[in-house]
Amino acid sequence: MSRRAPRIRAQLTVTVTTVMSGEMMVCRTRDVSDVGCFLDTDAYLDPGTRLALTIFDEARGGVIEVIGEVTRVLAGAARGIGVRLLEPPPDWFTLVAVARGQTIASTKKSHRLCVLVVGDDHRQRGALALYVTSGWDVRFASDLDGAAEALRAVGINAVIAEHDADDHRWHSILSEARRARPDARRIVRGAPGQGRRPDAIAGDLVHRFVERDAGLDALLDALTAEI
């Protein structure tokens, strides 16, 4: 993203997929310009990484898809990723023009949950619509090794295993989460299965079980309720 391009503060939900590896996360923009955007995220991506961005245009209720390239990565209080867009479509310039004309009601920064979601590709994509609407900084991992790597790299507030109650893969994933991030909330989200729910059988390994069809409110309650 060119630092000389006029930037407009805008918080838009973005699904980010790395072109080469297919890794996916959901975050929000901090600002946008005609040539790029800045992603508000703790994730680290090497400069030069190609990204496929799917951006929800909240003002017009549409989706914009564009390819970008990481140009800079900031850590600390200013953490985030600058992205230069490659041949942005006309809808992108419309989005920037609308953002330019809007008045920012408040610049107060709210606390944003950083959530790691672990599940196979089918489960990730099936749950994507829910996580896109959450406003959280969401990272995805497909297995135990990916979860362990993500837990080392960022300050995770919660780990959600997208597995059914009878799928024992969540045992090892949440055990690693408890070891690496003991203060993070540990949740299983899926079908209840034939036996007892995970939070009834796993002691302090699972803080909450959330049924897959319960919706965002139930998941938010599991993330924020006093345990």
Domain limits, the chain: 8-101, 114-224
- Please tell me the predicted confidence (pLDDT) of residue 80: 92
Q: What percent of the chain has pLDDT over 90?
A: 45
Does residue 11 carry a pLDDT above 70?
A: yes
Per the prediction, the chain carries an average pLDDT of 85
Residue 227 vs residue 67, higher pLDDT: 67
Write down the pTM of the prediction: 0.68
- pLDDT tens column, 107-119: 444 457 889 999 9
Task: Report residue 143 as tokens.
Answer: 């297995």
Q: What is the largest CA-CA distance in the chain?
A: 59
- Please tell me the predicted confidence (pLDDT) of residue 108: 42
Q: What percent of the chain has pLDDT over 70?
A: 87
- Please tell me the predicted confidence (pLDDT) of residue 107: 40
- Please tell me the predicted confidence (pLDDT) of residue 109: 46
Does residue 200 carry a pLDDT above 70?
A: no
**Nearest residue to 46 (alpha-carbon basis) of 15, 13, 23:** 23
Residue 179 vs residue 112, higher pLDDT: 179
Fold of the domain built from segment(s) 8-101: Thrombin, subunit H (2.40.10)
Question: Does 114-224 match 8-101 at the fold level?
Answer: no
How far apart CA 54 and CA 163 sit, in angstroms, is 26
CATH of domain 114-224: 3.40.50.2300
